[in-house]
Amino acid sequence: MGRTRSAPQKDMFYVRSEYPIAVQNVKIALQQAKDHGLLGKSIFGTDFGFDIHVFQGAGAFVCGEETSLMASIEGRRAFPKARPPFPVHSGLWGKPTSINNVETWANVAQIIAKGAAWYSSIGTETSKGTKIFSLVGKINNTGLVEVPMGNYSEENHF
């Protein structure tokens, strides 16, 4: 949905190695997409092909910043760098790069299917939708959790 014929025919899905369940789930989802003809060499029998490679990175929270993420993929220390140049001009391996957060893309299909009013009903008046958080430390359940915006952590018993 987010790609055109003029775009590269290969993408990368970056997942931190600290989240083995997330890595496994992403790989399962990508295989299911291939099985249904949504990824691969001939999508829906057309001459258009597109594939996604899972990249397990050793980056930390700093990899949420795009230049840090690219450094991690390139095998360098995940550290933000000043711009310009912007990644769209000189990004991954010095080539034009478009970086999109999967958290953002994950909302698109739901918004199209259920409408903007539905999405706007989640969260607060000024912060719509959901947010994914990483839970770590001395708690019962570590990992990733998605909650409506405005849902404060002290309200949750993890």
Judged by DSSP in three states, 106 sits in: helix
* Residue 89 and residue 96 in contact, taking contact as beta carbons nearer than 8 Å: yes
Q: What is the pLDDT of residues 101-136, one digit of tens each?
A: 778 888 888 899 999 999 999 999 998 988 887 777
Residue 98 neighbours by CB under 8 Å, 6+ apart: 7, 87, 88, 91
pTM tops 0.85, yes or no = no
